[in-house]
Structure formats: structure tokens, C-alpha cells
């Protein structure tokens, strides 16, 4: 019997594979989620502080402390309680006159890391969908073959064995497909979770701008 855990593992394994190209727009029919597809989170969606520009990006990428902190804050294993502590500690360690500039750079770094992870996950979701479409095609082929075999009047052991094999294959394929479909609800939540994380961290960093 095919267990749920094994199917979930298949789905998650797909998600961790990195994309070879940018995630496509909403017109892509491979997007299966109820949630609207937002390929990239922009700073303007969640940040009310100083403008995030090329200089801001250069700052967080070139400053090792900023870069390491942004990566740590973006990581989902870092609790929000720890995010609050880390942001407060960093904000308290920099001079008042440069605080807006450096906190904006910190936010930009966090957003960049979260966007990167979201792109990987969304690519994985679309790959997951393509696998489902391919499996659906295989199911239809097996169903057609079984239908043809059942219409055959032959009662030889070979004919009976072929029908049993096709029935077992169809049952196995159908269970896999159904389990993956049920898994999609869980899979589709991942980009939303990251979006919410970006908003929460943006708000926490902004609290220390003044």
C-alpha cells in the first residue's frame, strides 16, 4: 500500500530542486494553486522606509555583517522571537545618523533571500504540476489499454495476467495521482508562508528606523 508519507516525500523532493530559469507569469498554466501567483515580492509591497535602490543592494552584499544577518533573518528556522532580538541588537549597534541607510539595506538583503527561496519553491510547484499532467496522461493510456483488454474474449492465462497487471497498474497510478493532488494544498502554502515572513520582518526592521 502506498502511504501518504512516501508521496509527500516525493512532492517535497521536487520542491527543493533549484530553477534553471526565472518563474513565469500568471499566464503559465502549470500554476495549480488557488493562491494568486506573485513571481517576485517587491520592496514597495511592504516597506515604507527609505527607497531600496542599487546602492542599498550593494551595501548589504558588500557588508559581511549585514549579509550574514539578512541570511539568518530570512531563514525559516529562525523564530520570530529571535528575529526581534537580532534586529534590536543590530539596530542598537549602529550610529543614529546611518541607521535608516543600514536598516534599509538589511531589509533589502532579507527580501532578496526570501525571493530566491520563493522562486525555487514556485519552480518546484510548477514542475510538480507537470509531473501530475504526465501521470494523468499515463493513467488515461492504462485505462484505454485495460478497456481494450476487457473487451477481449480470450481466456488464456496470458490474457488474464495482462488484465490483472493493467488493473494493478491503474490502481497504483490513480492512488499516486490522488495523493499528490491532496498534497498540493500543503505545497501551495509555502510561497504564502514566505510572503508573510517577509512582511513581518519588514515591519520589525521598520520599527527601529526612528
pLDDT digits (tens), the chain, 210 positions: 333 333 333 343 334 333 433 343 445 577 888 888 888 999 998 998 999 999 999 999 999 999 999 999 999 999 999 999 999 999 999 999 999 999 999 999 999 999 999 999 999 999 888 888 888 898 898 888 888 888 876 678 787 888 888 888 888 888 888 888 887 878 889 999 999 999 999 999 999 997
User: What's the pLDDT score for residue 23?
Assistant: 40
Start-to-end CA span in the chain (Å) = 59
User: What's the pLDDT score for residue 153?
Assistant: 66
The answer to whether the beta carbons of residues 207 and 99 sit under 8 Å apart is: no
User: What's the pLDDT score for residue 28?
Assistant: 54
Rounded CA gap, 197 and 23, in Å?
20
Rounded CA gap, 149 and 158, in Å?
11
User: What's the pLDDT score for residue 4?
Assistant: 34
Residue (of 188, 61, 57, 174) closest to 121 by Cα position:
188
Residues whose CB is less than 8 angstroms from the CB of residue 52 and which lie 6 or more positions away in sequence, other chains included: 43, 104, 107, 108, 111
Say whether 185 sits in a helix, a strand or coil: helix
- Residue 6's Cβ-side half-sphere holds a number of Cα atoms within 13 Å equal to 6
Q: Where are the domains of the chain?
A: 45-206
The answer to whether the beta carbons of residues 33 and 188 sit under 8 Å apart is: yes
User: What's the pLDDT score for residue 3?
Assistant: 34
User: What's the pLDDT score for residue 180?
Assistant: 80
23 Rama class: left (phi>0) / alpha (psi -120 to 50) / beta:
beta
User: What's the pLDDT score for residue 14?
Assistant: 38
Q: Read out DSSP for 143-157?
A: HHHHHHHHH----SH
Q: Residue 99, class by beta-carbon neighbours within 10 Å (0-12 exposed, 13-18 middle, 19+ buried)?
A: middle
CB atoms within 10 A of CB 37: 19
Q: Whole-prediction pTM value?
A: 0.72
Amino acid at each position: 500500500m502506498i502511504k501518504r508519507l512516501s508521496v509527500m516525500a516525493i512532492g517535497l523532493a521536487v520542491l527543493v530542486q533549484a530553477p534553471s530559469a526565472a518563474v513565469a507569469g500568471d499566464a503559465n498554466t502549470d500554476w495549480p494553486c488557488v493562491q494568486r501567483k506573485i513571481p517576485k515580492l517587491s520592496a514597495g509591497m511592504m516597506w515604507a522606509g527609505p527607497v531600496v535602490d542599487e546602492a542599498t543592494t550593494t551595501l548589504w552584499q558588500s557588508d559581511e555583517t549585514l549579509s550574514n544577518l539578512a541570511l539568518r533573518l530570512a531563514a525559516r528556522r529562525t523564530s520570530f522571537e529571535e528575529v526581534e532580538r537580532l534586529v534590536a541588537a543590530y539596530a542598537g549597534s549602529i550610529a543614529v545618523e546611518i541607521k535608516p541607510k543600514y536598516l534599509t539595506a538589511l531589509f533589502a538583503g532579507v527580501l532578496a533571500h526570501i525571493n530566491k527561496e520563493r522562486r525555487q519553491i514556485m519552480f518546484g510547484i510548477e514542475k510538480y504540476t507537470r509531473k501530475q499532467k504526465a501521470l494523468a496522461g499515463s493513467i488515461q493510456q492504462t485505462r484505454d489499454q485495460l478497456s481494450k483488454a476487457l473487451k477481449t474474449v480470450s481466456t488464456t492465462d496470458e490474457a488474464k495476467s495482462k488484465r490483472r497487471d493493467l488493473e494493478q497498474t491503474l490502481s497504483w497510478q490513480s492512488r499516486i495521482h490522488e495523493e499528490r493532488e491532496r498534497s498540493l494544498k500543503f505545497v501551495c502554502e509555502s510561497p504564502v508562508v514566505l510572503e508573510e515572513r517577509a512582511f513581518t520582518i519588514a515591519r520589525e526592521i521598520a520599527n527601529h528606523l526612528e
